Amino acid sequence: MTMQTPAIPKFDAALPETPWRLLARRFARRRAGMIAAGFLLLLTVLALSAPLIAPQNPYDLGQVWIMENEKPPLATSSDGAHTYLLGTDGAGRDMASAILYGLRISLGIGVVSALAALAVGVVVGLAAAYAGGRIDALLMRIVDVQLSLPTILVALVLLAVLGQGVDKTLMALVLVQWATFARNVRGAALVERNKDYVEAAMGQGLPAWRIMLRHVLPNCVAPLIVTTTNQMANAITLEATMSFLGIGLPQTEPSLGLLISNGFDYVLSHQYWISVFPGVALVLLVVSISVVGDQLRVVLNPKLDA
């Protein structure tokens, strides 16, 4: 009888695991992270496809009838053609449609403002870490001042001066957020800058800006992913707050915050759905982003990932 030779495990040297693939694999093991990511994905798809799936365009006045106002959830329209899944608001708009469109605006503003603030923060933070000395001190004092002011106050003042609008809201959000990124980037870059591989890169004859961008910055990505995610959640809440207070977005482009605000007057007269459903959507969105960010923080730090 011949001996069976056990199969020799194949070492696949040709396919090393990229850091991104490793990150994805470790994130996939975290249940809370995957549930939140699932919700986030669902909300994103809903937001992106709002014009395709919403029963009506809530901003097209030709589709909205004032006679259909304040219908409760699951009420049928007067012509019997369709059901208002989440009811209608005081102007007769279909709440489900309004929420889909509002989600789109809230999510868009959160993502765009956080990414823009990230870009500004990376430039300022890297410049401070690279230059050091007085330039570093000056930039960081500006950051300190910015961070010591209450964000909502700064945003309020800015919007009072600038006026309403998507572009102005974005500007205000970037202005209150860039400092957080700048401080994060600088901190991470200073740690990396003192590592041997930076010295080695200088020994290769690479120019300093190239070392900062190609060697130092990629090594700071882990903390930045977490900060960016959390700042997106922050930006969405902040925009909702400003819109609720009536200084953020105009009535023609209602975000979730503005929808909540619009329904606020009806809560006491028991038409809860006009305010509550947009609120639920907002909470789902912000919580799912926060949980994803929190889980990313754990996954990106091997000491926390048990």
Q: How far is the CB of 15 from other proteins (least distance, A)?
A: 8
Instruction: Count CA atoms closer than 13 A to 77's CA, side-chain side.
Output: 18
Sequence-separated (6 or more) residues with CB below 8 Å from residue 159: 168, 169, 172, 242, 247, 248
Q: Is the C-alpha dihedral spanning 230, 235, 238, 239 positive or negative?
A: negative
Q: Cβ 221 to other proteins, closest distance in Å?
A: 8
The conformation of residue 8, written as its DSSP 8-state character, comes to P
Contacting residues toward other proteins, per CB under 8 A = 13-14, 16, 18-19, 195-197, 199-207, 210, 214-215, 218-219, 221
Closest to other proteins by CB, 3 vs 13, is 13
Q: Of 237, 209, 204, which is closest to residue 122 (Cα–Cα)?
A: 209
Whichever of 6 and 9 has its CB closer to other proteins, that residue is 9
Closest to other proteins by CB, 132 or 163? 132
Residue 296: CB minimum distance to other proteins, A: 16
Q: Using the minimum distance from each CB to other proteins, give the nearer residue, 145 or 202.
A: 202
Cβ 178 to other proteins shortest distance, Å: 25
CB of 199 to other proteins, least distance (A): 7
Q: Which is nearer to other proteins, 17 or 144 (CB)?
A: 17
- CB nearer to other proteins: give 95 or 216: 216
User: Tokens 């870059």 identify what position?
Assistant: 189
Q: Based on CB atoms, which residue is closest to other proteins, 95 or 129?
A: 129
Shortest Cβ distance from residue 206 to other proteins (Å)?
Answer: 6
Least distance from C-beta 214 to other proteins, angstroms?
8
- Residues contacting residue 275 through CB under 8 Å, at least 6 positions apart: 259, 260, 262, 263, 264, 266, 267
The DSSP-derived string for 31-73 is HHHHHHHHHHHHHHHHHHTHHHH-SS-TT-GGG--GGGTTPPT
**First CA to last CA across the chain, in angstroms?**
47
Give dist(CA 211, CA 285) in Å, integer.
38
Note the Cα 112 to chain centre separation in Å.
8
